[in-house]
Amino acid sequence: MSEESALREQICLLAKSLFDRGLTHGSTGNISARTEDGGLLVSPTGTSFGRLDPGRLSRFDASGAHVAGDKPTKEMPLHTAFYDTRNTAGAVVHLHSCHSVALSMLPGADPDNFLPPLTPYGIMKLGKVQLLPFFLPGDPAMGEAVRGLAGKRSAVMLANHGPVVAGKDVEAACNAIEELEDTARLALMTRGMQPQGLTEDQVRAVVTKFDVAWDD
């Protein structure tokens, strides 16, 4: 099996795992990954994560031209914004995951640091998550908002919409976006209960030990 064929299979396998566990639903969500030649494989528009076909993924060449496969997701501006501004981005995942969307609609969120520091793992895998305002689905302004962060964030939360995470590869991106959703779930479960999250000193210790980009 060629490297690209293996990547196609991996994208579909991980997408189905996310779908099967309810992290996105229907035909929501999109996923992309860098190919060995600098191009992209992208989930097509209107497709379900539970039923992606490896042979029908949208294929882009290194210049950004759509060269094969079905029509890509309308959220391409989001994906290309991460690839263009973060040289470490090897994959991008966007979900409509329930708990993170719910948390984005509640008052009191810090736009510069959307997730509360409840466990070390959200910090380790995501750094600070930027909360972006609501945009209409497919609006290129979402990509411009990501570009405005100048590559300083690996994850953003689109208010009333869903999270978007870039990772070094497709497995890392999927793991990180799952951590985002689980942290949001914990935040909702403990909301109003005065949970004992990590202290500033504990957060700093995690940031230092795991070399997390945090102060940008």
136-158: average pLDDT: 96
Cα–Cα distance for residue pair 133/214, rounded to 1 Å: 21
CA distances from 29 to 19, 32, 198 (A): 9, 11, 31
Least Cα distance to 212 among 153, 132, 150, 131 occurs for 153
pLDDT at 18 over 90: yes
Mean per-residue pLDDT over the chain, rounded: 96
CA dihedral 115, 26, 7, 137 (to 10 degrees): -60
176-200: average pLDDT: 96
pLDDT at 1 over 90: no
pLDDT at 215: 78
Cα–Cα distance for residue pair 17/15, rounded to 1 Å: 5
pLDDT at 186 over 90: yes
> Among this protein's residues, is 121 annotated catalytic?
yes
13 touches 33 (CB < 8 A):
no
**Helix ranges (DSSP H) in 114-161:** 120-126, 141-147
187-192: average pLDDT: 95
The CATH number linked to 30 is 3.40.225.10
- For 100-132, write each residue's pLDDT tens digit: 999 999 998 899 999 999 999 999 999 999 999
142 touches 158 (CB < 8 A):
yes
53-80: average pLDDT: 97
Residue 109 lies in a domain: yes
Residue 121 lies in a domain: yes
pLDDT at 95 over 70: yes
Residue 125 lies in a domain: yes
100 touches 179 (CB < 8 A):
no
Residue 216 lies in a domain: no
> Among this protein's residues, is 75 annotated catalytic?
yes
60-77: average pLDDT: 96
pLDDT at 216: 62
The range of the structural domain enclosing residue 127 comes to 3-209
Question: How many folded domains does the chain comprise?
Answer: 1
Q: Which one of the listed residues 3, 75, 181, 200 is annotated catalytic?
A: 75
Order of strands across the sheet that contains 30-34: 66-68, 58-60, 40-42, 30-34, 91-94, 162-167, 155-158, 130-132
Q: Which one of the listed residues 4, 121, 144, 179 is annotated catalytic?
A: 121
Residue 202 lies in a domain: yes
Cα–Cα distance for residue pair 26/97, rounded to 1 Å: 12
Which pTM was predicted?
A: 0.96
Residue 214 lies in a domain: no
Cα–Cα distance for residue pair 21/43, rounded to 1 Å: 19
